[in-house]
Structure 1
Amino acid sequence: MPTISMFYGILVAMYALDTEKHHLPHIHIRYNEYKAVLKIPDGEVLEGDFPIRQMKLVQAWIELHQDELMADWYLASSGQTPFKIDPLR
């Protein structure tokens, strides 16, 4: 699973050809022992659990990078490697 961004200890990844389970554009996030799957471009939680503070950071990052995330989703859903996206600063 390619990591497309990393900030404040949060890893953001997007699997290639990951359309079977969720059927919607989404990202996978990890922070310590927490994992979640968020829909893009709105940041809705599809699965998992995440600390509130870190979730707000990820959702702000999604808001800033909606277009890039959707472009990466189309690449990944067709089997291509998604591009890296700038971290939240």
Structure 2
Amino acid sequence: MPTISMFYGILIRMFFRDIEKHHLPHVHAEYQGKVAVYSIPDGTVLAGDLPSNKHKLVVAWIEIHQEDLLADWDLALKW
């Protein structure tokens, strides 16, 4: 699962091969051993959890980068 971003101790990874599990474009966010899976289209949590302040940062980051993330997701599925 490639790491696509790191900020404030949070790792953001995109792993498109588990589409059957989450059923939509998503990223995995990891912080101090905790992992949450976030929907790219709307930033909702699909699985797991992060501390509240880190959750807010991830949701804001997804909103800022949403267009690029969706383009990357589409490219990965075509590959």
TM-score, normalised to structure 1's length? 0.82
Separation in 2, partners of 1:72, 1:20: 18
Q: Offset at 1:67?
A: 0.3
1:30-79 C-alpha deviation (Å, 9 max, x unpaired): 00021010001211000001100000001111111110010111122234
Separation in 1, partners of 2:33, 2:18: 22
Separation in 2, partners of 1:43, 1:11: 16
| Residue segments in structure 1 that go unaligned for 5+ positions in a row | 80-89
Higher normalized contact order (CA 8 Å, seq sep 6+, divided by chain length): 1
Corresponding position: 1:7 with 2:7: yes
Corresponding position: 1:48 with 2:48: yes
**Aligned counterpart, 2:74:** 74
Separation in 1, partners of 2:78, 2:35: 24
List structure 1 segments (4+ residues) > 2 angstroms apart after TM superposition: 76-79
Separation in 1, partners of 2:44, 2:58: 11
TM-score, normalised to structure 2's length? 0.92
Q: Contact 2:34 / 2:50 at 8 angstroms: preserved in 1?
A: yes
Separation in 1, partners of 2:28, 2:36: 6
| Residue segments in structure 2 that go unaligned for 5+ positions in a row | none
Paired residues, number: 79
